[in-house]
């Protein structure tokens, strides 16, 4: 077990190194940070000097090795745009993104699972049909459209919720939370609904189809034949057996929620990692872009690992097959 985890961690290092390499090789196409930093009327001489001082004139392999060496020592560089150490920026922004992603995922599960169960059990009811149709909209509507529509409805039209930002935050240690103030909670609602929309529809459809499949299985028939209540059958036996794929998808979706909160964060000016990244791209803030991409690949690797370990807990069959017995459909 420990050997397995260790092996996975080493693999993850390689993944992160590859991501860093690919990211770094792309940065030369993003544009020129010096023009932004030096001021538009800087002389050619000053621009060249700044480029040399930033190490941008060095060949690509040297810059890459320098970045990796820095990261290994816990040095992530200095943001060109915010003029702050990148590590501090990331630590400042991480709580906002995690709180948004967690609340969106929780929302998706709390709404998606019951709806999925209902639709699985009452396939032909009018409500189930309606839920199905609406979930299609949830999957196909682009995030920025959903976001702007919600802002126009609830902020501009009704005036109930703030249109942007994170509200008041409270600092607990280094973690700045928006969950402990009224304005923080109110500010969280629209972005998390926006971000949850896709996941919700996905979870609901997944649970529905899994339920339908499980309900046809023999052990359900036996359970019914034994005279168990339909509640015990549906939730105790059927739902439990649908959970393995739901956990996989939720885990991966949580990773995506963190990684792709970019659009939601941009629309709501939510001060998280995604917004930081978008602004970094526009400004060619190479240290921030590089650190962000490495961090996100780290997230994905960790989440995959956690999902694999959760399988062990849920599915007894996997525990016998030894570490990493099956591919688990990834």
Partner 1 sequence: MTFLRRAVGAIAVAVSLWAAAPAEAQAPTRTFRWAWQGDIASMDPYARRETFTLAFLNHVYEGLVRYNERLEIEPALAVSWEIVEPTRWRFRLRQGVRFHNGAPFTADDVVFSYERAAAPNAIFRGNISPVRGVEKVDDHTVDLLLYDPNPILLRGLTDWGIMNRAWAVANGADRPVEPTRGHDSYAALNANGTGPFMLRSREVDVRTVLVRNPNWWDRPQHNIDEVVFRPIGSAATRVAAMLAGELELMFPVPLQDIARLQAAPRIRILQEPELRVIFFAFDVTRDELPDSNVRGRNPLKDLRVRQAIYHAIDIEAIRRVVMRGASVPVGTLMAREINGYDASFDRRLPYDQAAARRLLGEAGFPQGFEIGLDCPNDRYVNDEQICAAVVGMLARVGIRVNLSAVPGSQWIAKLNARQSSFYMLGWAGLPVVDAHHFLSNLYMTPDGRFGGNNYGGYSSARVDELTRAIGSELNQQRRQQMITEAFQIVQNDVATVPLHRQPLAWAVREGVRAPQAADNVLRIWTVRMD
Whole-number Cα distances in Å, 219 to 123, 173, 231, 286, 315: 21, 50, 15, 57, 16
Least distance from C-beta 64 to partner 1, angstroms? 18
- Lay out the site mask for partner 1 across 272-311 (x = CB under 8 A, - = otherwise): ---xx-xx--xxx---------------------------
Q: What is the full DSSP assignment across 9-35?
A: HHHHHHHHHHHHHHHHHHGGGT--HHH
Q: Is 87 among the residues that bind partner 1 (CB under 8 A)?
A: no
Whole-number Cα distances in Å, 96 to 100, 165, 177, 271: 6, 10, 7, 6
- Lay out the site mask for partner 1 across 147-166 (x = CB under 8 A, - = otherwise): -x--xx--xx--x--xxxxx
Out of 19, 20, 89, 113, which residue is the one contacting partner 1 (CB under 8 A)? 89
60 vs 312, which CB is nearer to partner 1?
Answer: 60
Question: What residues numbered 166-205 form the site for partner 1, per CB under 8 A?
Answer: 166
Whole-number Cα distances in Å, 234 to 212, 215, 216, 240: 11, 8, 12, 9
**Other residues' Cβ atoms within 10 Å of the Cβ of residue 46:** 13
What contacts 125, CB < 8 A, 6 or more positions away? none
The number of C-alpha atoms within 13 Å of 27 and in the hemisphere containing its C-beta is 26
Least distance from C-beta 96 to partner 1, angstroms? 9
Which of these segments, 39-47, 192-200, 217-225, 290-298, binds partner 1 (CB under 8 A)? 39-47
Out of 16, 20, 23, 33, which residue is the one contacting partner 1 (CB under 8 A)? 33
Binding site for partner 1 (CB under 8 A): 29-48, 50, 53-54, 77-85, 89, 92, 148, 151-152, 155-156, 159, 162-166, 266-269, 271, 275-276, 278-279, 282-284
């Amino acid at each position: 077990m420990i050997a397995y985890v260790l092996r996975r961690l080493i693999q993850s290092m390689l993944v992160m190194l590859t991501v860093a390499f690919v990211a770094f090789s792309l940065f030369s196409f993003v544009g020129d940070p010096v023009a932004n930093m030096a001021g538009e009327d800087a002389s050619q001489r000053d621009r060249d000097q700044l480029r040399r001082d930033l190490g941008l004139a060095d060949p690509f392999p040297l810059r890459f090795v320098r970045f990796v060496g820095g990261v290994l020592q816990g040095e992530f560089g200095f943001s060109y745009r915010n003029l702050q150490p990148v590590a501090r920026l990331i630590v400042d922004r991480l709580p906002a993104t995690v709180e948004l992603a967690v609340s969106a995922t929780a929302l998706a599960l709390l709404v998606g699972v019951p709806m999925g169960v209902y639709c699985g059990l009452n396939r032909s009811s009018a409500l189930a049909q309606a839920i199905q149709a609406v979930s299609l909209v949830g999957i196909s509507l682009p995030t920025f459209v959903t976001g702007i529509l919600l802002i126009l409805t609830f902020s501009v039209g009704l005036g109930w919720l703030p249109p942007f930002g994170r509200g008041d935050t409270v600092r607990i240690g280094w973690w700045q939370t928006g969950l402990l103030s009224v304005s923080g909670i109110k500010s969280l609602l629209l972005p998390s609904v926006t971000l949850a929309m896709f996941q919700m529809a996905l979870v609901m459809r997944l649970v529905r189809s899994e339920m339908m499949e499980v309900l046809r299985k023999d052990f359900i028939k036996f359970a019914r034949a034994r005279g168990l209540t339909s509640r015990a059958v549906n939730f105790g036996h059927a739902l439990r057996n649908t959970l393995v794929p739901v956990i996989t998808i939720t885990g991966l979706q949580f990773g995506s929620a963190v990684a792709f909160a970019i659009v939601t964060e941009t629309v709501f000016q939510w001060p998280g990692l995604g917004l930081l990244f978008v602004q970094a791209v526009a400004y060619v803030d190479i240290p921030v872009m590089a650190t962000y991409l490495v961090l996100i690949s780290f997230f994905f690797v960790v989440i995959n690992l956690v999902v694999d370990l959760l399988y062990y807990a849920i599915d007894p069959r996997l525990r016998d097959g030894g570490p990493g017995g099956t591919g688990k459909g990834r």
